[in-house]
């Protein structure tokens, strides 16, 4: 039976993706910084492990406890919305530690076992901000664009060993905790000089014409994990699909 290790399962995309793989009969290793057994229906195919993707020791312990991994879903991430000018460099580094270096560290940790078996799939969840320039998201976009380039190159590198690398690009999901898992508030990153510029953007966010659901992302991750056609990018959600078609 196949096993998927999914990061960032405490809410949103990760939690719904874990549920999707469980429904498909897979073994699931659901990871999160502070494990909560109440989030997922107990199952003999489910394990919930503590994992901080920014901590090398935590990664090593989780990978060892997980055992053989057929699919790694790098979903854990933090968001940042605001004027780049007002975003503290310390926070930008925090965003990169999770969204970029955390993905790379997890990937590096599972490659040896996948390479040895000559099978496995790594699915990296980025964002539709990589499909078109979006305002007030410069730092976040940079952290996700790095993973886009990383994954594209990695796909070529690992294909030699029968290992696949994929991208899932979610659109805007109003119901997710995009910026709630960070210590910096959006309002702190909009200085008075940017107020007139930011107002219509936030209004559009409040009344989007197309959005993405957690189920959309879980479906895209499932498709990416099981793709054998060589597809690299999987946009998730109607808005992301629309952007993908024009990118």
Any idea which residues carry the catalytic annotation?
140
Residue-wise DSSP of 6-74? ES-TTSHHHHHHHHHHHHTT-EEEEEESS--GGGS---TTEEEEE--TT-HHHHHHHHHHH-S-SEEEE
Three-state DSSP state, 235: strand
CA distance 247 to 155: 21
Which residues are within 8 A (CB) of 62 and not within 5 positions of it... i.e. 6 or more apart? 5, 29, 31, 49, 50, 51
């Amino acid at each position: 039976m196949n096993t998927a290790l999914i990061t960032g399962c405490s809410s949103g995309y990760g939690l719904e993706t874990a549920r999707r793989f469980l429904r498909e009969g897979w073994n699931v290793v659901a990871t999160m910084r502070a494990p909560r057994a109440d989030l997922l229906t107990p199952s003999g195919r489910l394990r919930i492990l503590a994992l901080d993707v920014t901590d090398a020791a935590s990664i090593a312990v989780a990978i060892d406890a997980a055992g053989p991994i057929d699919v790694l879903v790098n979903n854990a991430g933090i968001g940042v919305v605001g004027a780049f000018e007002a975003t503290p460099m310390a926070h930008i580094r925090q965003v990169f530690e999770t969204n970029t270096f955390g993905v790379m560290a997890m990937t590096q940790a599972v490659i040896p076992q996948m390479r040895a078996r000559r099978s496995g799939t790594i699915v990296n969840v980025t964002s539709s901000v990589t499909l078109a320039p979006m305002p007030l998201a410069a730092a976040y976009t940079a952290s996700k664009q790095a993973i886009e380039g990383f994954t594209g190159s990695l796909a070529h590198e690992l294909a030699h060993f029968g290992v696949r690398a994929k991208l899932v690009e979610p659109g805007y999901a109003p119901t997710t905790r995009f910026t709630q898992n960070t210590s910096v508030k959006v309002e702190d990153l909009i200085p008075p000089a940017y107020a007139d510029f930011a107002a219509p953007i936030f209004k559009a966010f409040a009344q989007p014409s197309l959005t993405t659901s957690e189920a959309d992302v879980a479906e895209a991750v499932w498709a990416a994990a099981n793709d054998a056609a060589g597809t690299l990018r999987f946009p998730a959600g109607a808005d992301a699909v629309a952007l993908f078609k024009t990118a």
